[in-house]
Structure 1
Amino acid sequence: MTKITVLGATGFAGGHIAAEAASRGHELTLVSRSAPQDAPAGARVIQGSVLDADVLAQAIDGADVVVGALSPRGDMEGKVADAYADVAARLAPGTRFIIVGGFGSLKDEAGDRIVETAAFAPEYKPESLELFSAFERVSATDVDWTYVSPAGTFGGYVPDQTRRGEYRTGGDAAFYDADGQSVISGPDFGLAIVDEIEAGAHVREHISFAY
């Protein structure tokens, strides 16, 4: 059993990661500004902002793995990179830090960062750049980090959230299925993250999950 803290536990990614981890018997601490409506049984719930030093200290104390699933929106706009840098500075030696990033942090076939290309939707650019900034700052530390980019089509807006029980793992370059799509459901992304927590196969790497 691993002690896992999920920051942003009421969000789309954080909620699915928490559900998958709970189903495997891991010890959970869930942190969010709003109280989770469907927190797994037995989970420790901390309601508050990770920008509050006392909340953050309580949340990561004793954790084996901290998962950052914060969204750079609302009152967290422009603050996620700072928050994650603070987490990294506070972690005890040997504690893993897994950050859920964005698709835009990946590279295209030309080796260009997708968020910096004309093909990337401008309305999502600030969020993607904020998450990539988090990657740059945390990866420069000596923390055992893993930065994970989900598929390009990922989120609560996707109608099909079937748990297939499968996924593929890539590096920091985007990859696609036979139909040229980059997709993964919330449940299968949660599956992939918890598999990585248990296996520890990609420490200090930027990886991606998609079908």
Structure 2
Amino acid sequence: MSRIVVIGGTGYAGSAIVAEAAGRGHDVTAFSRSAPTEPVTGVTYVQGDATDESALAAVVADADVVVSTLAPRGPLTDSFRDVNRTVARLADAAGARLFVVGGFSSLRPEPGAPRFVEDLTHVPAEIHAEVLAGAALIIEDLPATPDSLSWVFVSPARMFGSFAPGERSGDYRVGDDVSVAPSDGGAISGADYAIGFVDLIEKGDHHRAHVNLAN
């Protein structure tokens, strides 16, 4: 059993990961600005602002695993990267492994090819800044962390989000930084992404790596 802290634990990906980890018997703390609409039995919920380093430090201090599920929008539009760099620094200080929920656009269509984020013509202009900020974590910020920090950046298939929740099948595919999904981007449900995500935590086979999950 691991002590897992999920930053953004009441959001779409965060709540699914919280439920999956708790269901497997892990000691789970969900840190979020908002209270859960459907609390999971046995989970400790802590309300707080992710831009408040002291609040983050308090929940990360005793963690074995820290999961960041934050999104570069809303209150974090301008501070997303700074907050994630703080989370990484605190996880390293605590000796915890760090897992980050990434985005599809940071993946590559084939080995050695440019990442999808390098050509955003397929993405609405109003979310370009959000996509770029999310990809910057794996392109710049995480690789720049000390070697002592074990991190895994976990991208979902293209069609992933509350707009397409899907169903729990128990099946998923895992790849590295090359998308394992079909050319149309594929999909993965929130529940199946969480299954794969917690499997990655439990198996511990990846270190300072970019992986992706798809159905």
TM-score (norm 2): 0.92
Q: Residues 1-150 of structure 1: matches in 2 within 5 Å?
A: 1-91=1-91, 92=93, 94-109=95-110, 111-121=113-123, 122-135=125-138, 136-141=140-145, 142=147, 143-150=149-156
Q: Does the 8 A contact of 1:78 with 1:130 survive in 2?
A: no
**Amino acid of the residue matched to residue 11 of structure 1?**
G
Rounded Cα–Cα distance in structure 1 between residues aligned with 2:186 and 2:62? 36
Moved beyond 4 Å, runs of 4+: none
Unaligned runs of 5+ in 1: none
Look up the SS of the partner of 1:139 in the other structure. coil
Give the Cα separation in 1 of the matches to 2:12 and 2:208: 24
Q: How high is the sequence identity, in percent, across the aligned residues?
A: 41
Q: Secondary structure at the match of 2:158?
A: coil
Report if the CA contact (8 A) 2:169-2:192 is conserved: yes
Q: Decide which moves more: 82-91 or 61-70.
A: 82-91
Indicate the residue corresponding to 2:210 in structure 1.
Answer: 206
Which residue identity does 2:181 align to in structure 1?
Y
The one-letter code of the counterpart of 2:132 is: L
The amino acid of 1:182's aligned partner reads G
Alignment-mate amino acid for residue 173 of structure 2? R
For residue 171 of structure 1, the aligned residue among 171, 176, 185 is: 176
- Write the distance in 1 (CA, Å) between the matches of 2:180 and 2:22: 29
- Supply the RMSD in Å over aligned alpha carbons: 1.6
Matched residue type, 1:155: G
The answer as to whether partners of 1:46 and 1:55 remain within 8 angstroms in 2 is no
Task: Give the number of equivalent residue pairs.
Answer: 209
Q: C-alpha displacement at 1:175, in angstroms?
A: 2.4
Q: Distance in 2 between matches of 1:187 and 1:42?
A: 19
Please give the secondary structure, in 1, of the residue aligned with 2:30: strand
**Distance in structure 1 (CA, Å) of the matches to 2:25 and 2:144:** 32
Give the letter for the 2:141 counterpart. Answer: R
Task: Tell me the SS of whatever aligns to 1:5.
Answer: strand
Contact 1:3–1:62 (Cα < 8 Å) also in 2? yes
CA–CA separation in structure 2 for the residues paired with 1:54 and 1:98: 20
> 2:63·2:94 contact (CA, 8 Å) conserved in 1?
no
Deviation at 1:173, TM superposition (A): 1.3
Distance 2:155 2:174 in 1: 10
Deviation at 1:94, TM superposition (A): 3.5
SS state of the match for residue 123, structure 1? helix
3-state secondary structure, aligned to 1:87: helix
Is this contact kept in 1: 2:28–2:44, CA < 8 A? yes
Q: 1:162 maps to which residue?
A: 167
How far 1:118 moved relative to its partner? Answer: 4.2
Check whether the contact 2:27–2:43 (CA below 8 A) recurs between aligned residues.
Answer: yes
Residue ranges of structure 2 left out of the alignment (5+ in a row): none
Q: 1:75 to 1:180 in 2, by over 3 A?
A: closer
With over 3 angstroms needed to count, the CA separation of the structure-2 counterparts of 1:22 and 1:125, relative to structure 1, is same
- Cα distance in structure 2, aligned partners of 1:146 and 1:124: 24
